[in-house]
Structure 1
Amino acid sequence: MVIREGHLLLESGRDLRTSRIKKLRSQVLIDREVDVSRAILVTEAYKETEGEHPYIRRAKALYKILANMPIHILDGELIVGNQAFKPRAGPIFPEWQVEKTLKEIHTWPTRPGDKFLISDDEINELKEVLEYWRGKTVMDRVLSVLPDECRRAMKYGVFSVYNYMTSGHGHFIPNFEKALKVGLNGIRNEIIKKLESLDTSDPEYYNKTVFYKSLLITIDAIVNFAKRYANLARELALRESDPRRRRELETIAEICERVPAYPARNFWEALQSVWFILLTAQIEQNGLSVAIGRFDQYMYPYFRNDVQNGVLDEDAVIDLLASFYIKTSTINKIYDNEGAVINAGPALGQVITLGGVTRDGKDAVNELTYLCLKADAEVGLMQPDFAIRLHPKTSEEFLVFLAKYIAKYPAKVKIFNDSVVIPALMNVGVSLEDARDYALLGCSEAVIPGKTCSGGNFGQINLAKVLELTLNNGRVMWYYDGSSFHLNPEGPEVQVGIPVGNVEGFRSYDELWNAFKSQLAYVVKLLATTANIIDRVQAELTPHLIFSLVTDGCIERGLDFTDGGAVYNFTAPIAIGAITVADSLAAIKYMVFDNNFISMSELLKVLRNDYEGYDGLRLRLIHEPPKFGNDNPYVDEIAAEVVKAFVEELRKYRNPRGGCYVGSVYSLTGNVSFGWRTGPTPDGRRGGEPLNDNVSPTAGRDLRGPTAVVRSVSHIDAQLLPQGYILNIKFSPTALNDEAKVRRFVSFIRTLLDHGIFHTQFNVISADTLREAQKYPERYRSLLVRVAGYCAYFVELSREVQEHIIARTEHESI
């Protein structure tokens, strides 16, 4: 490609861009379908490679998929590369599990949320293909050795680790800076040198040799995949009658011939290279959140050079960014029915991190930071998600810009606090320079780009169920079988936890608290046991070769990403229902031990009847004891202790990759599904109702405004949680509808930072609008809401999740 200074690489302008975005949006906002092609191709590849090393089988399978899957270039798009045969279609990944797919596939078009269309013929074709995988999947291998006590706890909703049994790791940010500077061919040369320098007497010689050879096949697969798009773009250019579009297609062809094989020379090439790496990583495995990292940092040199040399102007940059953003919204993931409830939306986690500080501690905001958000304002789709890093020296100018953006587009932004995230990372062994360079993935996880196997969301613990086991001496009081609730289930499996004593005989709150901690310790042990088994099986059956190519440490050590190759290795389960537990413990402390209003026996009787016939006492439990979110240390300190106890138990365990366990507190939409599996709690919540979301107060219980909520959350030590927590705050649109209110919002953002809040996000929408969207979903197809650490199209969520979002406290003022 010949690039001349002062000659625009892309002809753009507001009208042309608006027309392009409108056209591309219409091609993306379509019903989701199932794509069976990947399942067919990966099955053929595995049949062809029986007996070969798992690394080689994975590499050859990826090569076959990328060489034969259907590809397309949508009319008008500037960044190319598709995951499936249509935008938003979802591929099938049978390497991880098939039993749930075979059982549930016929329900996907009609299930309550996250629907995917599939024809009867495709179902029959897929069933035939999936039969090959019975007994061969990650889930099969895990369940063959999983202890009975772990199975039992998952059955009764005490914890879940199905996400890593049914998909790859995800939760990953490539080293884009390196990939753009040296290209995949530069990485190829690095691998060849390592291969040639291996010591044949090294006990790991064989494994490293096979690993390096598999990486070389993987590079060939990606480079050839890009060349398929180069050829397609040339074919389309020959048939294109519009001269402007023909020039665009010719440029796309030249770009795809070059990247990602060679170093990017300009902004367009860099953007396309980033996309090919993101895309192929999500074709290789289906784990959540292959994230985009510190985009305004590693892309800035290409942006600055092109603008200074007159190759791109602001219109062209926004045009390219818009096309890139729209591509991220074509990615999709099909969950099994349980996963679709926990990750409703779905939670894809393609996060762009902006702002923060540089590796040497200076403010990192630049011109591209602003343009990234301006471009998204013109696109308005679910992906990508934006994580904004703030710190004490963030300029007032940027804060005002951000506040205005949130007021208008609240669902797309989440705010992170450098002052607590950086120390939290250093507390688990991350160097200061690396910690300053953190980026976000998934919902709330802070990681070091290109250096981390984060193990993010590696299972979820239902803290409210742990409390239920505590109050019943390790026995389950409530069981949800997938269609109906059962109070006091009978049978041999009812003893799920450990005996911690009959709480009716406890004479102090401390006795109850110690019993809860003992029960929590047992449950954490079960989860760690399960997670470590899954970790080893993933490394054995489904190595992540693309991840290994662009993660520091893997090539140097000759170890796959799943096998400890990364510089930093964590396992990060999430705690769900922490505030429900805090409110419940506060209620017991207040009503039973401190004031003797009721006895423990009376409370247990009420709970075992799900408050039936005890409405008066239920109202007292709701209104009399202090509730989290109202700046009351009585309960706020209990919440802090619950989170601390969770983290302390996790820190006792190591993962097979040589790293430690770390904690996070958020819920996705697991607070709804875990709520179904949890009996009535002493805070007045009935059995089956949702637990609190994230670290936010229980809906309707925060009565003193958003600043009081912030003060309550500040009691939780964020530096214990390097992979974060989430605070959701919902404002009425009238709270941010003029300049003076926006200025107050800026001050509120400063308050969040001053109080050490890790992660905050906002919905600025009225309950009336959401009710209207429920009635007329066709009118609100693109209405976005923040769910947990991600946003989703409101009308694609299940009714239960919609109702939970509507129920969140709506603050009329700041």
Structure 2
Amino acid sequence: MNTKFGSLTQRMNHFREELLEVQPYVCAQRALLTTESYKKHADKPIVVKRAHMLENILENMNIYIEEDTLIVGNQASSNRSAPIFPEYAMDWVIDELDKFDKRDGDIFQIREETKEELRSIEEYWKHNTVKDKGLAYIPEASRVFYDLGIIKAEGNITSGDAHIAVSYGDIMKYGLKEYERRTVEELNRLDLTNYENMSKYHFYQSILIVINAISFFSKRYSNLANELALTSQGKRKEELLEIARIMNKVPYEPAQSYYEAIQSMWIVHLVLQIESNGHSLSYGRMDQYLYPYYKSDIDNNLISEEYACELLTNLWLKTFTINKIRSWSHTQFSAGSPLYQNVTIGGQTSDKKDAVNPLSYLILKSVAQTKLPQPNLTVRYHKGLDDRFMNEAMEVVKLGFGMPAFNSDEIIIPSFIARGIKEKDAYNYSAIGCVEVAVPGKWGYRCTGMSFLNFPKSLLIAMNDGVDPASGKKVCEGVGHFRNMKSYQDLEKAWDIIIRDFTRHSVIIENACDLVLEEDVPDVLCSALTEDCIGRGKTIKEGGAIYDFISGLQVGIANLADSLAAIKKLVFEEKKISTKELWQALMDDFEGDEGKRIQNMLIYDAPKYGNDDDYVDELVRKAYDVYIDEVVKYPNTRYGRGPIGGLRYAGTSSISANVGQGKGTLATPDGRKSGEPLAEGCSPSHAMDVNGPTAVFKSVSKLPTKEITGGVLLNQKVTPALLSKDENKQKLIMLLRTFFNRLDGFHVQYNVVSREILLDAQKNPEKHRDLIVRVAGYSAFFNVLSKATQDDIIERTEQAI
């Protein structure tokens, strides 16, 4: 597939080709087993009911071992099929049964038999799902923001939380038996005359049920491998017998080899997915915790580097088999069926030394060979990052599938320490999902992604005296209409009032979601594997994690910047457009000669974010500061219940929500027409950044990035021809080092693909089956995206160096 990093082994290449040819199907098996278990254990406490649910699934779901694989474990009845999680939501599933295979993007096939199976459980789940209860929890005054699309939180109540990484290193080192031992120890010391310990008792019982179920699940694969070995010959027979041996051991027992460690990690990762369907379930710093096993086996000549690489590529292929189906409305926020399963490499050790090791290079090589949207690969950058490793990472970037992304230790670690994270833990952070960051095994759910707040739509409401112009509904008290404003300060005052009010409603919506998730779907396994849930006798949502900080996501930052600059300059300073003229042009969607004249002025005669222009950059920073100042006032539902923090901060990792939220947003004062996508992440609006990548970096660095601990997502696009020259690659590396060393750069990632290729892929998708693009904080196959998302990627600015 490429010459620089070598090619997949023959069997891994065959496995990859098989997976790419697979048509994703909807799988009803988990839904049926979940419903069966909920009915059988209806009288049990919810945490015990959830444990028995997972037990029933792991004991009875279909399992299989692919012909080419060395790593075993499947999520659904077939690879790339997506299970249904009825406890979270069933209304959209039933409503879309006949539409899954007719979607514009993220298409899933579905058999008539599957439709009937899902319809058979519909009645049980009516008014009985997390979504049903979550929406009912939201007070009426806040619910209007959800219904109008000003604040979206659908993902929170239609699937599990995740946005987390457990401590896979500890699982490999100690095995689940150690978690079992600790649980029994805590259980035996409980004084059950104290009523507060009753919930701990049931939590501990549920952990024991789940650990036993995972051990049984693993042994099912061991037995299957032994059965298959009876009819196999030669090398494959030996491989199957080795699989049987390993699966009879891990993850219950500690791993003692590189192969065992990878298999132990995979089966736990898989069961976490089966438990809750939460995306952004990440692997953490794999080059750190897996390296001792790799080094020992290499040093003792037990494995070769080639075999070690093959096992990694096998792991990535298995990672790609996991799939997730979302409602169509939610799909527009997560185009390409992403799971955001992030692997972090590089960075620093806890004693502040460069953490790059031979396995860091091998992970780069294996990801390059596999060339898939999963896993999501992140390099932790720091000033002392080895030049050779930086060059190697850039060679992977050149392959054009959007990886790796780069996160900066220089801003993230100090930001963590300032928030009360212990220095040793801060140095052990990893990327979670897209660009969000947390400490593996010690951080609660949803470090980023609680809700989505539409900044441009909020601005329109601020201009319209608190009335949503799209629906005509008054959502809050304003300070008057834009037509009557006399100065830019009047607009600033309106923004201040509106955004603070909207922020409070976003907190109310998030709290409602969190309370229902805590009450209805406690995740037993994930809680058991997160410190210190066992010690506290609490699930994650009850406050069991060591750290618990969360953030919502703010969408359309560049649109807000350009809108504010256009209004300040053209309306109030130069008076080229009156307030009445601008408002009418917005309501007319810039139609007609006058509308087009005003639109052109907004686009071409006002400063634009992304060009290192203090005029616009300072305006958006000041506007963003209002949100940040307000959101930090409101702790989350775990505050005071155990974790350090329990607080909120900002985040810009808006994934593909810019497309979905753009559809519901009228024309904006930056010249954008109604329904068009908003700018994604903190990236500039399309074609508005005309002064090159250095200017973009400078504009982004003026945002309050030290306060946006939820992630500052920056997408950049360059052509393959540009990076084909080594001198340009070196220039790009120097740019990155400047961005992270001298400026307050948090994150950057690259699409290395030409506009011509993307346009041809739209017209001739069969010729571009392997084309992968960076959508937002994740990559996806271009062909599976909706046309709107494809168009959004095509229109991104191509940077020169």
Aligned to 1:676: 663
SS at match of 1:412: coil
Is this contact kept in 2: 1:472–1:503, CA < 8 A? yes
Is this contact kept in 1: 2:564–2:620, CA < 8 A? no
Rounded Cα–Cα distance in structure 2 between residues aligned with 1:377 and 1:135: 46
Aligned to 1:504: 483
Is this contact kept in 2: 1:553–1:565, CA < 8 A? yes
Residue 344 of structure 2 is aligned to residue 365 of structure 1: no
SS at match of 1:533: helix
The superposition leaves residues 277-317 of structure 1 with CA deviations (integer Å, 9 ceiling, x where unpaired) of: 11000000011111000000000110111100111110010
Letter in 2 for 1:472: N
Aligned to 1:656: 637
Residue 406 of structure 2 is aligned to residue 423 of structure 1: no
Deviation at 1:603, TM superposition (A): 1.1
Aligned to 2:765: 777
The superposition leaves residues 651-679 of structure 1 with CA deviations (integer Å, 9 ceiling, x where unpaired) of: 11111112111210122111111111111
Rounded Cα–Cα distance in structure 2 between residues aligned with 1:515 and 1:196: 59
Deviation at 1:27, TM superposition (A): 2.3
Rounded Cα–Cα distance in structure 1 between residues aligned with 2:779 and 2:76: 22
Is this contact kept in 1: 2:341–2:433, CA < 8 A? yes
Residue 582 of structure 2 is aligned to residue 603 of structure 1: yes
1:578-617 aligned at under 5 Å gives the runs: 578-613=557-592, 614-617=595-598
Residue 204 of structure 2 is aligned to residue 197 of structure 1: no
Rounded Cα–Cα distance in structure 2 between residues aligned with 1:245 and 1:518: 68
2:677 to 671, 682, 690: 690
The superposition leaves residues 310-345 of structure 1 with CA deviations (integer Å, 9 ceiling, x where unpaired) of: 111100100100100100000011000111111001
The superposition leaves residues 753-788 of structure 1 with CA deviations (integer Å, 9 ceiling, x where unpaired) of: 122211100001001101111112122222110001
SS at match of 1:258: coil
Residue 628 of structure 2 is aligned to residue 628 of structure 1: no
Deviation at 1:106, TM superposition (A): 1.3
Deviation at 1:443, TM superposition (A): 1.3
1:15–1:698 CA distance, 2 compared to 1 (3 A): closer
Letter in 2 for 1:519: I
Rounded Cα–Cα distance in structure 2 between residues aligned with 1:428 and 1:166: 31
Deviation at 1:410, TM superposition (A): 4.3
Residue 282 of structure 2 is aligned to residue 291 of structure 1: yes
Rounded Cα–Cα distance in structure 2 between residues aligned with 1:42 and 1:787: 33
Rounded Cα–Cα distance in structure 2 between residues aligned with 1:798 and 1:724: 25
Aligned to 1:528: 507
Deviation at 1:551, TM superposition (A): 0.4
Deviation at 1:95, TM superposition (A): 0.4
Rounded Cα–Cα distance in structure 1 between residues aligned with 2:766 and 2:376: 24
Residue 241 of structure 2 is aligned to residue 250 of structure 1: yes
Rounded Cα–Cα distance in structure 2 between residues aligned with 1:130 and 1:169: 23
Letter in 1 for 2:144: R
Aligned to 2:262: 271
Aligned to 1:561: 540
Rounded Cα–Cα distance in structure 2 between residues aligned with 1:359 and 1:202: 41
Aligned to 1:642: 623
Deviation at 1:204, TM superposition (A): 1.5
Aligned to 2:642: none
The superposition leaves residues 545-598 of structure 1 with CA deviations (integer Å, 9 ceiling, x where unpaired) of: 111121011001000012111111122110000110111011100011122222
SS at match of 2:177: helix
The superposition leaves residues 737-763 of structure 1 with CA deviations (integer Å, 9 ceiling, x where unpaired) of: 122222212212212212221110000
Aligned to 1:448: 439
Aligned to 2:107: 115
Aligned to 1:800: 788
Deviation at 1:412, TM superposition (A): 2.3
- Unaligned runs of 5+ residues in structure 1 are 1-13, 479-488
Letter in 1 for 2:77: F
Rounded Cα–Cα distance in structure 1 between residues aligned with 2:512 and 2:109: 34
Aligned to 1:172: 164
- Unaligned runs of 5+ residues in structure 2 are 640-645
Residue 706 of structure 2 is aligned to residue 706 of structure 1: no
Aligned to 1:482: none
Deviation at 1:699, TM superposition (A): 0.3
2:384 to 373, 393, 396: 393
Paired residues in the alignment total: 786
Deviation at 1:719, TM superposition (A): 1.0
Is this contact kept in 2: 1:176–1:298, CA < 8 A? yes
1:294–1:418 CA distance, 2 compared to 1 (3 A): same
Residue 104 of structure 2 is aligned to residue 125 of structure 1: no
Rounded Cα–Cα distance in structure 2 between residues aligned with 1:118 and 1:263: 40
Letter in 1 for 2:430: A
Rounded Cα–Cα distance in structure 1 between residues aligned with 2:360 and 2:38: 44
Deviation at 1:121, TM superposition (A): 2.3
Is this contact kept in 2: 1:424–1:718, CA < 8 A? no
Rounded Cα–Cα distance in structure 2 between residues aligned with 1:536 and 1:171: 17
Aligned to 2:725: 738
Rounded Cα–Cα distance in structure 2 between residues aligned with 1:362 and 1:306: 24
Rounded Cα–Cα distance in structure 2 between residues aligned with 1:527 and 1:321: 41
Deviation at 1:51, TM superposition (A): 1.2
1:542 to 508, 511, 521: 521
Letter in 1 for 2:658: N
Aligned to 1:486: none
Is this contact kept in 1: 2:344–2:431, CA < 8 A? yes
Rounded Cα–Cα distance in structure 1 between residues aligned with 2:599 and 2:9: 55
Aligned to 1:574: 553
1:754-769 aligned at under 5 Å gives the runs: 754=741, 755-769=743-757
Is this contact kept in 2: 1:447–1:454, CA < 8 A? no
Letter in 2 for 1:424: S
Is this contact kept in 2: 1:347–1:792, CA < 8 A? yes
Name the stretch that deviates more: 52-61 or 495-504. 495-504
Residue 135 of structure 2 is aligned to residue 143 of structure 1: yes
**Cα RMSD over matched residues?**
1.3
SS at match of 2:326: coil
Is this contact kept in 2: 1:292–1:350, CA < 8 A? yes
Letter in 2 for 1:631: D
Letter in 2 for 1:195: L
Rounded Cα–Cα distance in structure 2 between residues aligned with 1:28 and 1:204: 49
1:356 to 339, 347, 350: 347
Rounded Cα–Cα distance in structure 2 between residues aligned with 1:26 and 1:404: 24
Deviation at 1:192, TM superposition (A): 0.3
Deviation at 1:17, TM superposition (A): 5.2
The superposition leaves residues 116-136 of structure 1 with CA deviations (integer Å, 9 ceiling, x where unpaired) of: 100222112211123211111
Letter in 2 for 1:317: A
Is this contact kept in 1: 2:532–2:545, CA < 8 A? yes
Rounded Cα–Cα distance in structure 1 between residues aligned with 2:7 and 2:427: 39
Using structure 2 for the length normalisation, give the TM-score: 0.97
The superposition leaves residues 139-166 of structure 1 with CA deviations (integer Å, 9 ceiling, x where unpaired) of: 1112223212222112222110111010
Deviation at 1:501, TM superposition (A): 2.0
SS at match of 1:352: strand
Deviation at 1:427, TM superposition (A): 2.8
Letter in 1 for 2:675: G
Aligned to 1:9: none
Letter in 2 for 1:743: Q
Rounded Cα–Cα distance in structure 1 between residues aligned with 2:450 and 2:225: 40
Letter in 1 for 2:420: G
The superposition leaves residues 39-83 of structure 1 with CA deviations (integer Å, 9 ceiling, x where unpaired) of: 000000001011111011000000000000011111110111000
Rounded Cα–Cα distance in structure 2 between residues aligned with 1:642 and 1:280: 43
SS at match of 2:550: strand
Identity of aligned residues (%): 37
Residue 65 of structure 2 is aligned to residue 69 of structure 1: no
The superposition leaves residues 22-41 of structure 1 with CA deviations (integer Å, 9 ceiling, x where unpaired) of: 11112211111011100000
Is this contact kept in 2: 1:454–1:568, CA < 8 A? no
SS at match of 2:721: helix
Name the stretch that deviates more: 300-309 or 405-414. 405-414
